[in-house]
A and B are shown apart, each in its own frame.
Chain A
Amino acid sequence: MVNQKKILEINELETSFFSDDGKIAAVDHVNFDLHEGEILAIVGESGCGKSVTSLSIMGLVPSPPGKITNGEILLQGKDISKFSEKEMRKIRGNDIAMIFQEPMTSLNPLFTIGNQISEAILIHNKSWSKKQVRERAVEMLRLVGLPRAEELLNEYPHQLSGGMRQRVMIAMALVCNPKVLIADEPTTALDVTIQAQILKLIRELNDKFNTAVLMITHDLGVVAETCQRVIVMYAGQVVEEATVQEIFKNPKHPYTKGLIQSVPDMRYKKESLYSIPGNVPKPGSVKVGCRFAQRCEFATDRCLTENPALYELSSSHKSRCFLVEEEGGSVNGKESLVESK
């Protein structure tokens, strides 16, 4: 993992929404790298900025009111966050593709599956013949495990189940061989058996085509099953970054610990499920101190008055908690810059 090439680098990304109350950063100086061929998870509760992060990468933050207000997004070294809309169109679907949470509504109900997949092909391969496009569409539908691929081309989304639609979405996303696939909670809306199938499919395709996957989820079960590394986000910030093994064996941030504790464990029939008390604060509402302090059982006075940096425990493990500092974590260059602001 260590020597793998970075395909996507997110540096100090800040995405803000502007309202009458002024600027509110929903994604607040986020840093992470996505390596070639890996599956990286972003986890966190609802509202912590996972979707805004992925939309920022796609250049699809609803604007107005949203805007990338700081940082860079390097795709193979090129900063796509500064790209024009026209340049971004060449990236979307071609270099970076995305699938969404709601397979029921993510396909256009009034166009056939064939029309929608062909569209995805033709946008980036204008010279292809009708026959080529059709063959590619059928090939992709087969690849994602859909039966009757030929007939499916003439069917409408409402004739398919949720799981089938998500497979169609995946087929459509991968049809131009993107380098990066962003999957924003791809299984949340599906029932458990279908969830497992879709995750397996994503893993297989990742393996087969070496497509890097950014897997956004709030389900640590999904993380354990599919990913190699994890970014934990809280209230717009990265609070912990680690390999999957480390996250489950040795979580450092109290928020991560809380998340792991609240995963239902099939082996023990617990009476009631643990849940972290309280809610994610609204972006911009915590002005000073650690954003998790209000809900943290280890919070000290320092946590309420000082912003913790993202401390580095090892090259692959970081945590935004003063407890780590006490254990000897260090701050890298980038972070100290933010702190001194």
Chain B
Amino acid sequence: MLNYIGKRVLQLIPVLLGMSFIVFLIIRAIPGNPAQVILGQKATQESIAALEEKLGLNNPWYVQYFDYLKGLFTGDLGESLRTSQPISSEIWPYLAATIELAVFAMIIAIIVGVNAGIISAWFQNSWFDYVAMVIALIGVSMPIFWLGLIEQWVFSLNLDWLPTSGREDVRNPISPITNFYLIDTLIQGRFDQFGIVIKHLILPGVALATIPTAIIARMTRSSMLEVMRSDYVRTARAKGQKMFLVVYKHALKNALIPVLTVIGLQTGLLLGGAILTETIFSWPGIGRYIYEAIGYRDYTVIQSGILVVAFIFVMINLIVDLLYTVIDKRIKYS
């Protein structure tokens, strides 16, 4: 097993290398010049040239790429061109904000999606099944930015129940420890702030959860429908087991593998979707961080930011593959 994990991690290296190379090239194809952006419209040719020299932007691209790689192999993500801060420390608060939002959204998606799918399959062709599947169909095709705007309009502007944007109340700022605010406020015993953090999470969380919820519900339903017809489900019923346990113990565990696959994929896609959601809800996450870096042509931040997201994506895939073996002992990797 450890062997397998080692092998998988080794396989990640060429993937991430290729990824870093492509991103590196694409960024430099974007018109614009970081030194120019940093110094502003009125900067002189000389000062721009001097800054380019200082930032190493005058070196041939392969030298720049090689320097970047050298840093990566020692765990150094480089420095921001704009702020001169090390990216690895600068990125964390943003990354934590995104992870908190994504985990929150994914928990909603899994709880609602899996249960809706189970109940739809259990009571196939009931009104619940029809309603849930119609909602799921609308959900998968829902444009997120539009949903986000509607949410803000209804729940913030009209009903004034929830804040429109941000992670915290600016008049009552949170002192970060881990930068996961739900955890930080709990550690500090600030339950008032914990509530505020939850309130801020709800609208972007729901917007982000919509598509994964719908996809998970549909996958769970079809997977469950197949499993519910199986012989061992009949055996469990023949033992006198309660239908609830037949469904949630015997059937669900068997239906879980394909569901887990979509959960993994959706979690990855969620990180991509987060960029859009973070923009609408002014969420100070990794999406915003990269988005702003693009505006400043902050090459190093863009390339390292994307690399970090890609790394999380492939790690989620690996974790999902390992979870298969926990559920199904017949699956063995070597």
Contact = CB atoms under 8 A, between A and B. Distances in A.
A10 to B, nearest CB: 18
Contact of B254 (A91, A100, A102, A108): A108
A135 to B, nearest CB: 19
B240 A91 contact: yes
B243 interface: yes
Contact of A90 (B234, B240, B253): B240
B232 A108 contact: yes
Contacts of B230: 105
A108 B327 CA distance: 12
Interface-centre pick from B231, B235, B238 (highest chain A CB count, 10 A):
B238
Contact of A109 (B234, B239, B330): B330
Interface-centre pick from B234, B235, B241 (highest chain A CB count, 10 A):
B235
Nearest to A157: B232
A169 interface: yes
A110 B328 contact: yes
Contact of A124 (B236, B237, B240, B330): B240
Nearest to B230: A105
Nearest to A60: B237
A173 B238 CA distance: 9
Interface string A151-165: 000001010000000
B330 A106 contact: no
Contacts of B235: 100, 106-108, 169, 172
B238 A60 contact: yes
A123 B241 CA distance: 6
Interface string A110-146: 1100000001100110000000000000000000000
B328 A109 contact: yes
Nearest to A59: B237
Given A106-B232, A107-B232, A110-B253, A119 B239 contact: yes
A106 B239 CA distance: 12
Contact of B239 (A123, A156, A158): A123
B237 A92 contact: yes
B234 A89 contact: no
Interface-centre pick from A91, A111, A156 (highest chain B CB count, 10 A):
A111
B242 interface: yes
Contacts of B253: 108, 110-111
Interface in B221-250: 230-232, 234-243, 250
A100 B231 contact: yes
B240 A110 contact: no
A158 B237 contact: no
A85 interface: yes
B288 to A, nearest CB: 42
Interface string B59-85: 000000000000000000000000000
Given A108-B254, A110-B253, A119 B238 contact: no
Which 5 pairs, one residue from A and one from B, show the smallest C-beta to C-beta distance? A93-B240, A92-B240, A93-B239, A108-B232, A105-B231
15 contacts: A92-B237, A92-B238, A93-B238, A93-B241, A105-B232, A108-B235, A109-B232, A109-B254, A111-B253, A119-B236, A123-B240, A124-B240, A169-B235, A172-B235, A172-B239
Given A93-B240, A108-B235, 19 more contacts: A89-B240, A89-B241, A92-B237, A92-B239, A98-B238, A100-B234, A100-B238, A106-B231, A106-B235, A108-B236, A109-B254, A109-B330, A110-B253, A111-B250, A119-B239, A119-B241, A124-B240, A156-B329, A172-B239
